[in-house]
Structure 1
Amino acid sequence: MNTSWMHAADLAAGRGALGAGLVVAGVVVLALLIGMFVFGSRRVRNNKVRRPRPEEQPRMPEGGPVHEVREHREPDEMPRSDERLTPHELNEHGNSGSRTSASQERPRWDEGGSGAFGSGGPGGR
């Protein structure tokens, strides 16, 4: 009898057992993942917030629907200080950031101006 064939058969049997063990471990992990998903979805479904009743629904204001207000605003002046101010210190000075402009005309670009960016030249046409 050839002993090299017996060693090869032992190795093949060991590899087959290892492969079968990996497949079984993969199936177990997959079953755990599916079980966790099912358990989690049931838990979420059971903890859902109930729908609001009709009397809890939002109501239209007494004066009718509220409409958008368009106005031109301009920035407030920055308070003068010798030291740097942080954002919360700016609010302590009563600075809200902007105020309604005296003129409500929309600003327009000058003819030949640059628009949103650039030098105002003809560009790279």
Structure 2
Amino acid sequence: MSTAMFDLAASSGDVLNVIGAFVGGLVIAGALIWAFWFGMRVSDRELPRPAPGEQPHLPEGGAVHETREVREPDEVPHAQDGERMMPYELHHAGTRTGKDQHRRRWMPGSSGSFGSGGLGQR
């Protein structure tokens, strides 16, 4: 009789595992369906996409190109009474246009950086 009870307990455990897996699958499927439904409701409330005629166009003169300029560094102001300055107390650095607008270039035979390493010679 003890083997019959063991078989019954084993089979009931298997049934509970199958039922638990089925219920878990239903919960996951329900969550996915709800998420899809919720996403559709949100997208229905959004503004419609612009028509092709409402899209932005290039200006009459063509594409706008960037301009490059060399800026001069500003001195970092010193705090009064030797206290630490907060970022909101600083102004924007590099706000003045430099007198020399030529870009610094790499020179063959140098270290490849602007004064940061090596002898710069072969």
| TM-score, structure 2 as length reference | 0.68
Instruction: Specify the alignment match of 2:89 in structure 1.
Output: 89
Give the superposition deviation at 1:40: 2.3
Q: Distance in 1 between matches of 2:28 and 2:100?
A: 68
| TM-score, structure 1 as length reference | 0.67
> How many residues are treated as equivalent by the alignment?
116
Q: Can you give the 5+ residue segments of structure 2 that lack an aligned partner in the other structure?
A: none
Specify whether residues 71 and 14 from structure 1 end up closer, same or farther in structure 2 by C-alpha distance, changes over 3 A only.
same
Tell me: higher relative CO, structure 1 or 2? Use CA pairs within 8 A at least 6 residues apart: 1
Q: Secondary structure at the match of 1:108?
A: coil
Alignment of 1:11-30 (within 5 A): 11-30=9-28
Q: Can you give the 5+ residue segments of structure 1 that lack an aligned partner in the other structure?
A: none
Tell me the alpha carbon deviations over residues 73-92 of structure 1, each in whole angstroms, 9 at most, x when there is no partner.
Answer: 1211222444332221122x
Q: Distance in 2 between matches of 1:55 and 1:66?
A: 21
Instruction: Specify the alignment match of 1:101 in structure 2.
Output: 98
